Chain A
């Protein structure tokens, strides 16, 4: 398997490195060497024990090195219909940044939004300073592979003291007859006292098998605020591997919310390095999976400096033969005194065939800390159910209500009202056993073929 990727790299070396500067060429060749060394993560290693990635990779994937970042009217094929969601919307089509007007735009406040391939040309100083410096290629699964094949992705630069007025929405669309293998690479840099909200939606427009191996690097400057929402709602044939690396400086705040509403194979790795004092990181996750779906959330928070706080809360409802994994780790370095770190993972299993593996780990080398973690696997609270019955609610409604309440703890953390409302409706529908996709989405939402999401309430 490893050899196959190396072969593809060698064959397409010229195409991959076309129009690239020295920095990028070096980065890629370094990356392929690391990949040669580490290979594909084996399911014998702890973090991949339950994720059978080999199986998902065993397809004749197509690599698109030729399409370039191009101009097209994305609305012709896709329209996001989250009501009232007022965003700067950017689109990735089959792994390439597509645009209506310009490949890279500078807003009035100085914020730069555009494709990474263009940004390397126009802003080499910024890109070279940051690209590859947070994403540890030895650490998480296929980061080296992504770096070796690095082509395009989203680039955002927020200057000091700028609060970007609207969320930036990035829509990742897969629309190809081929079995696509995508490796988008995003780079986000926030200056001092700045603020940015990112909404990241994954959609597949076709039901083909595809594999996406995304790497994002986010640098959060002093006292800056970064909010990130990831809505994953893809078909069962899609495999999604995301690696998000965040680096925090003094006084910065980060909130990450990963919502897996549907997905054949999803593994999200979130790596937060708290390299400053008085930082705060909230990491939330929700996974509602059924059928034979697989959702794996791996979180790593490193407290390198004193007096910062972090909070992880992941919740999941698993139906049918779905499998879920939560592996959270908090590392508190020796110097990170007065750290407060919390970790929680709660799960509900709806069938005897659904499985959850949870590993909330703490590794602590400082003594003046407050750290705690908890994990639960269980059912709906019988007392609460009885209470609802006694108020006249039928079994089905009562269960629905409680499951919805279980999930809403995560949904309520969404600070954009329009998005929260939409996700709320999606969760509710999902739990009712209906399609849980944006209302008027032109795409597979209307595709009756995919109407197989059914959490069977009688089983709950």
Chain B
């Protein structure tokens, strides 16, 4: 692993070459003026023709946000954000209502084709319905009609506000209240769009649902909100992907995801997060400050989070689960790769409230370059959560001697019958394994790619097929140039 200088020369090239999503599309967009105020919030709400309760919710959140301080406890270091220098609403100019794809801005269509997310249904991956969100606004949701036949609602958050306000009013903010944290309050005040998904009682969703988030405009914060409700006995697998153009300045992404699983329902939520991570010197990149939480409301319900995090300059994200129903189960599978100057502080919270609840945490962190990668997780069993079970495995792999890998688990046991196990290891990539690969004629970079993918396999195997292949490639690309 010598010849650090040589590889350094290639780093710049590699870092930018391999982020194939770094382009910017000239799309005519309509933006709110910079800055944040009640006025701006009213503007957003009006623009979106929202019901009164929504505006009230936003204003309450905004007023609460004003009382909060930006948190600083995470193991990340970034330049303070000037919240008055951001644009809180930017939307592609579009015709008021899109009935067919012919009406979608062709530049936009092209953008998504380039991203590998065709919005034409006949070209789309079979079995995946996509909600495409650019900057802050959902532009197109595919396969809506097919889904509607089963009673499944899958549409943009704005559309849901118009068509199903009662569902939103009932559930929004029940899992992540606006008082939850600084960024949740900010999102609750200014969120512009996102995805909404409702699976009725007893329905198994026949296809993967997917939201694709794209930041395009400059100086724009992206604040979307996803709400998934799985009624009794239903099932849905949901995927989320993200990219952003290469820009020198930092972009803020502060999203909220809320999931509610009722009795016997199961929700699988997969994320491949590939926001622009900044260049090899750590310039630019997305600040990814996300609050994701699910609640297993009913007995025997199950929610699982799977995430592959390769992007963003700074990630601050803890997809969590509240296991309320008896026998409910939660899972968290994560691979987080950091290279160059990326910083990730990610993990999960498993709050066991119901009887016989169980949770599994598998986290694989891979650090390279000058990056810092932290796992932070809480496992808590309440007094009434008798026979709660948790197993956590958090491994870190270090590539190179300039990076850091950190593990911060918190375990709080509140009753005598819980069994909680946490294991973690930190190590470097094995020289023996590398040599074995080299001896078979596999070069250093491919060898590292192979070994790292093998290391992350437990998590990758949890991803839906469509995502798994992409994620594997992404992993190898993210680490290119990390070892000379």
Contacts and interface: CB of A to CB of B under 8 A. Distances in A.
A/B: CB atoms within 8 Å of each other:
yes
B412 A368 contact: no
Given A377-B420, A378-B421, A372 B426 contact: yes
Contact of B406 (A334, A352, A364, A370): A364
Contacts of A174: none
A347 B413 contact: yes
A459 B417 CA distance: 11
B425 interface: yes
Given A362-B424, A372-B425, A377-B420, A349 B415 contact: yes
A375 interface: yes
Interface residues on B, range: 35 or more
Q: Identify which of A347, A360, A362 gathers the most chain B CB atoms within 10 Å of its CB.
A: A362
B374 to A, nearest CB: 8
A373 B395 CA distance: 10
Interface of chain A: mostly helix, strand, loop or mixed: strand
A352 B415 contact: yes
Interface stretch (B136-144, B321-329, B396-404): B396-404
A377 B419 contact: yes
Nearest to B421: A376
A371 interface: yes
Contacts, number: 116
B409 to A, nearest CB: 6
B69 to A, nearest CB: 13
B426 A362 contact: yes
Interface of chain B: mostly helix, strand, loop or mixed: strand
A361 B421 contact: no
B64 interface: no
Contacts of B252: none
B34 interface: no
Interface residues of A, number: 35
A355 interface: yes
B163 interface: no
Contacts of B403: 365, 367
B410 interface: yes
Nearest to A331: B406
B410 A378 contact: no
Nearest to B1: A367
A378 B420 contact: yes
A353 interface: yes
Given A350-B416, A369-B427, A364 B409 contact: no
Given A359-B408, A360-B409, A362-B407, A349 B401 contact: no
Given A366-B401, A374-B422, A349 B413 contact: yes
A351 B428 contact: no
A255 to B, nearest CB: 24
A374 B410 CA distance: 11
**A-B CB proximity, top 3 nearest:** A367-B398, A377-B413, A371-B426
Interface of B: 75, 383, 386, 396, 398-428
Given A361-B407, A368-B428, A369-B428, 9 more contacts: A334-B401, A356-B411, A360-B409, A364-B398, A365-B403, A367-B428, A370-B427, A373-B407, A377-B419
